[in-house]
């Protein structure tokens, strides 16, 4: 879906259009979080009276996604670099992390952080929100690691050779030459992971985080009207994922200097 | 009082690069066998030989893109070994131009040329960009400074790559088959830039199949065969008075 990118005047450059899309979509996301209660309040029973609750749930879902997403990118980058490290134990640690996280259910991971972690490490009792954030972030980080690693490996070896033969240090070569090129390659799968994360954040419901799905379930339980309630809940998720893909599409277009799309 | 100069005229012949009995294996393949050679300042050395003769590998050992297994390589008085400090110091003095150009695709021509001076020499941005534009002018690409590599022809990309290596003001530039990936009509523009460089006194080591370039610009020809440095000769003797049958056969294939 190209949506926003195509509505700008034709004489605008690609960069202006992507900048406009990124700003408008980000503004829409913020506005939506602040003001979602207003349009919902106009809807009939059972949505209208519960508009404030829906708005609160939406905000929690978005914050949870943003915080876990940020943690996931940091962990993913670290794990990707560790997987490519020349020191075997570092590689093994990263492989172990990805193996365990991808091989176990996210639901179990969330429950583990909230219920089991305080017993494993006495004194560490995270709040329900923080537990969900840590579990989701660690989970998406394992998937991000693969995406980022593939991006780094896709940059031709000649790029590193050229940078090193100019006298750039290994760190400068990574920062100035390899990373910018691998980021462009890794971006689509990373966004995929964040969209999946937004939806998976609904699992935080099981440890009592009052996010969007939890709100939906509470309201349907109180009103006995599951059809409109879950349709509204799903509709809000759909708006959020659409805005996310719009932003990422614009970033992709901005990085695509060869204009292949 | 007489002052004794440590650099007598004869010292001008101190080689910039010395390779002694260099060996290199890729698994079972012995690609460099006891190769010894010297490269002098201001000299253009052309390295020729069949594909797989080890000439590119030898060139790549000179700035340690390939590690040699045994022997010694000394560049500008610094020995090439596992010490990282030596390596960075040497790579600043030794430029390299690749067959596939290897320009950075996410940067403009100007940014490609100014990146290394800014990062390695810490040249201020404006100064680095001014110097880069000067170099792009020197290779005839001042009007393309703000284009990305994909917007340039192969010949133009290779000229940007030459400007990029010149930006570090190296003492020697290694050329690894710089025209082999180019369409015939673009070879000349790159060779012309290289000839200009040679005339300006740049020390160059050039691996190439362009025999007319070797004859016209080369001060010395090195011929590689099956990993050995088979012959080292001035161009006249190499092309016009060749006694070695193996090399005569090679030249026959190349020029006819």
Higher pLDDT, B12 or A199: A199
CB atoms within 10 A of CB B80: 22
Question: Distance between CA B43 and CA B66 in Å, rounded?
Answer: 23
- Residue B6's pLDDT band, with cuts at 50, 70 and 90, is very low
Lowest mean pLDDT among A104-113, A183-192, B16-25, B222-231: A183-192
DSSP per position, B171-199: SEEEEESTTTTS-HHHHHHHHHHHHHHHH
For residue A30, pLDDT beyond 60: yes
Q: What is the model's pLDDT at position B252? A: 86
Model confidence at B1, in pLDDT bands (50, 70, 90)?
very low
- Provide φ and ψ at B234, rounded to 5°: -70, 155
pLDDT of residue B255: 63
Write the pLDDT tens digit of every residue in A227-260: 999 999 999 999 999 988 888 888 887 777 766 5
Closest CA to A97 of A154, A129, A144: A144
CA nearest to B162, candidates B133, B136, B188: B136
Q: Is B185 exposed, middle or buried (0-12, 13-18, 19+ CB in 10 A)?
A: exposed
Mean of the pLDDT values across residues A108-123? 91
Tokens linked to B202: 């740049």
Question: What is the pTM (predicted TM-score) of this model?
Answer: 0.81
**Torsion sign over Cα A166, A168, A170, A172:** negative
Give yes or no for residue B11 having a pLDDT over 50.
Answer: no
How much of chain B exceeds pLDDT 70, in percent?
95
Q: Which two tokens stand for residue B159?
A: 């000229």
Gyration radius of chain A's alpha carbons: 21
Q: Is A99 exposed, middle or buried (0-12, 13-18, 19+ CB in 10 A)?
A: exposed
Name every chain B residue with its beta carbon within 8 A of the beta carbon of A159.
102, 104
Q: Are B215 and B18 in contact (CB under 8 A)?
A: no
Chain mean pLDDT for chain A: 89
Q: Which of A159, A161, A176 sits opposite B119 (nearest CB)?
A: A176
pLDDT above 70: percentage of residues in chain A: 96
H or E, element range at B32: strand B29-40
Residue of A nearest to B113 (CA): A166
> Can you tell me the distance from the alpha carbon of B205 to that of B216, in angstroms, rounded to the nearest whole number?
14
CB contact under 8 A, A166 and B120: yes
pLDDT at B86: 77
In our burial notation (b when 16+ CB lie closer than 10 A, e otherwise), range A32-53 reads: beeebbeebeeeeebbeebbeb
Give A193 to chain B, closest Cα distance, Å.
25
Question: Which pLDDT does position B5 carry in this prediction?
Answer: 41
What values do phi and psi take at B15, rounded to 5? -70, 145
Model pLDDT, residue A74: 95
Q: In 10 A of CB B74, how many CB atoms? A: 16
C-alpha distance from A180 to closest chain B C-alpha (Å): 8
Check pLDDT > 70 for residue A108: yes
């Amino acid at each position: 879906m190209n949506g926003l990118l195509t509505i700008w005047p034709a004489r605008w450059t690609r960069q202006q259009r992507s900048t406009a899309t990124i700003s408008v979509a980000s503004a829409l996301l913020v506005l939506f979080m602040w003001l979602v209660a207003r349009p919902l309040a106009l809807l009939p029973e059972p949505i209208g009276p519960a508009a404030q609750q829906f708005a609160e749930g939406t905000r929690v879902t978005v914050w949870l996604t943003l915080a876990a997403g940020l943690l996931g990118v940091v962990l993913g980058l670290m794990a990707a670099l560790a997987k490519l490290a020349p020191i075997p134990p570092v590689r093994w640690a990263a492989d172990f992390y990805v193996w365990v996280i991808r091989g176990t259910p996210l639901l179990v991971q969330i429950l583990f952080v909230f219920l089991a972690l305080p017993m494993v490490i006495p004194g560490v009792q995270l709040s329900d929100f923080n537990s969900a954030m840590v579990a989701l972030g660690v989970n998406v980080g394992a998937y991000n690691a693969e995406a980022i690693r593939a991006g780094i490996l896709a940059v031709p070896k000649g790029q590193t050779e050229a940078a090193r033969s100019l006298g750039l240090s290994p760190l400068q070569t990574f920062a100035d030459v390899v990373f910018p090129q691998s980021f462009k390659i890794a971006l689509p799968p990373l966004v995929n992971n964040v969209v999946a994360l937004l939806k998976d954040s609904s699992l935080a419901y099981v440890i009592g985080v009052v996010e969007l799905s939890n709100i939906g379930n509470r309201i349907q339980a109180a009103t006995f009207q599951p059809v409109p309630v879950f349709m509204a809940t799903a509709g809000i998720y759909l708006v959020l994922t659409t805005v996310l893909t719009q932003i990422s599409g614009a970033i992709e277009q901005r990085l695509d200097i060869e204009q292949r799309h | 009082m007489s002052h004794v100069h440590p650099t007598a005229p004869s010292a001008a012949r101190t080689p910039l690069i010395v390779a002694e009995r260099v060996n290199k294996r890729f698994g079972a393949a012995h690609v460099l066998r006891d190769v010894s050679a010297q490269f002098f300042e201001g000299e253009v050395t052309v390295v020729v030989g069949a594909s797989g003769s080890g000439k590119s590998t030898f060139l790549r050992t000179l700035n340690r893109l390939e590690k040699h297994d045994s022997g010694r390589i000394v560049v500008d008085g610094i020995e090439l070994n596992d010490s990282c400090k030596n390596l960075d110091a040497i790579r600043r003095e030794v430029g390299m131009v690749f067959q596939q150009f290897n320009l950075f695709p996410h940067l403009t021509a100007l940014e490609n040329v100014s990146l290394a001076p800014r990062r390695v020499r810490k040249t201020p941005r404006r100064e680095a960009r001014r110097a880069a534009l000067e170099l792009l002018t020197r290779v005839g690409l001042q009007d393309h400074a703000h284009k990305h590599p994909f917007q340039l022809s192969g010949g133009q990309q290779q000229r940007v790559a030459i400007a990029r290596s010149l930006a570090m003001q190296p003492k020697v530039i290694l050329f690894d088959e710089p025209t082999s990936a180019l369409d015939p009509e673009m070879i000349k523009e790159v060779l012309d830039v290289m000839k200009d460089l040679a005339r300006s006194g740049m020390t160059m080591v050039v691996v190439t199949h362009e025999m007319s370039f070797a004859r016209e610009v080369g001060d010395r020809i090195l011929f590689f065969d099956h990993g050995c440095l088979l012959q080292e000769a001035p161009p006249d003797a190499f092309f016009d008075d060749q006694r070695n049958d193996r090399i005569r056969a090679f030249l026959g294939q190349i020029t006819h």
